[in-house]
Amino acid sequence: MGGTLLEKVEQHTRLAGHNRVAMLLFRLGDEQLFGINVFKVREVLRRPPLERMPGVHALLAGSCDYRGQTVPVIDLAAALGYAPLREVASAHLMVTEFNRSVQGFLVADLQRMVQCPGETLVAPPSNLGFGARVNAVTRIDGALMAVVDVEHVLASIDAAPAELSMQMQRAADTRTLSPRRVMVVDDSLIARRRLVGLFKQMNIECVVATDGREALERLQELAAGDPVDGVRLVVSDIEMPRLDGYALTRAIRETPGLRQLKVVLHSSLSGIFNEAMVKEVKADRFVAKYQPDLLAQAVLELLPEPAEVPAG
């Protein structure tokens, strides 16, 4: 399967930006289907020999050699409450690239690749018991499929910095911006809180939306109202239920009252397919999670000075 994965991803790429997500399906120990965005997957392999160091995080199964590079291997089954797979010879390794890093995840077995219409992906009801490590669910041929929040899993092992550096804080303090208001779009409560806190450090107010559909509706409301209440810049995640960041950006560019907005896509996706899609949907900037100073720098560069604000 690993040898044909990139070819399959290329076939699915043309549908990205039209609110369709290609998912690689897998299982972790029972019949429950899980999925991951194929844009995050480099390759799928049989579980290689693992080296394990003492004193590491419990979810780290060890490390392995991947094409001459030593990468950490995370036991995704254990992270989701299943029996660990570190010693299971039949397990598979999903080699992924996101958050500007390469890591492997152990899964029980791989299934197939499917296309999911974005509007069918919804936040998981709390009574399903998945917890914070699943951020969306849908039905595939009648079976429930849960999208694993692999960024959440990785962050629980190696948390990224959330604060601005003093240098960037001073740069934000000296800039005169108009308006000091941006829209933050992310389905993750943790990510939204982190971004709102970041912009609070920059004295920037946030309008918050939990997915692209809500963001688009709110932007249209703001555009029809008092310009003082409007926003000039949108910072959006890419992977979201109902309407993803690619499709949101495309919709903004195709809506006359919104197309002048600046859009920063802020996501863990960092591979070559994402780079192509950022250009395709005409986003102004891409900043990989989580890099507070780089995101702040992009916002300072894209938000206008008062003199640049059009009259009327």
Q: How far is CA 54 from its chain centroid?
A: 31
The confidence score (pLDDT) of residue 12 equals 42
pLDDT greater than 70 at residue 298: yes
247 with 265: CB under 8 angstroms? no
The stretch 244-268 carries a mean pLDDT of 91
108 with 79: CB under 8 angstroms? no
pLDDT greater than 90 at residue 161: no
Contacts of 220 (CB under 8 A, 6+ apart): 255, 257, 258
Higher pLDDT, 162 or 189: 189
pLDDT greater than 60 at residue 9: no
pLDDT greater than 50 at residue 260: yes
Residue 91 to residues 11, 78, 132, Cα–Cα distance (Å): 27, 13, 24
DSSP conformation letters of 159-180? PPP-S--HHHHHHHHH---SS-
pLDDT band at 4 (very low <50, low <70, confident <90, very high): very low
The confidence score (pLDDT) of residue 1 equals 46
Residue pointed to by tokens 């010879």: 89
The confidence score (pLDDT) of residue 237 equals 93
Express as a percent the part of the chain with pLDDT over 70.
87
Number of residues in the chain? 312
pLDDT band at 186 (very low <50, low <70, confident <90, very high): very high
Domains, in order of start, for the chain:
5-156 (2.40.50.180), 166-302 (3.40.50.2300)
Rounded to two decimals, what is the model's pTM?
Answer: 0.72
For 59-77, how does the pLDDT look when each residue is reduced to its tens digit (9 = 90+)?
Answer: 999 999 999 999 999 999 9
pLDDT greater than 60 at residue 3: no
Stretch among 9-23, 245-259, 269-283 having the lowest mean pLDDT: 9-23
End-to-end CA distance of the chain: 57
Q: 126, exposed or middle or buried, with CB in 10 Å at 0-12, 13-18, 19+?
A: exposed
The stretch 75-88 carries a mean pLDDT of 94
The stretch 2-20 carries a mean pLDDT of 48
Tokens standing for residue 39:
């844009």
Stretch among 29-33, 157-161, 276-280 having the lowest mean pLDDT: 157-161
The confidence score (pLDDT) of residue 68 equals 92
pLDDT greater than 70 at residue 311: no
pLDDT greater than 60 at residue 238: yes
The confidence score (pLDDT) of residue 33 equals 96
CA-based nearest residue to 181, from 222, 212, 238 = 222
Rounded-to-integer distance, Cα 240 and Cα 123, Å: 9
Which H or E run contains 33?
strand 33-37
Report the chain's mean pLDDT, rounded to a whole number: 85
Rounded-to-integer distance, Cα 101 and Cα 115, Å: 25
Q: Which residues pair with 263 in a beta bridge?
A: 234
Residue 10 to residues 59, 255, 265, Cα–Cα distance (Å): 32, 28, 21
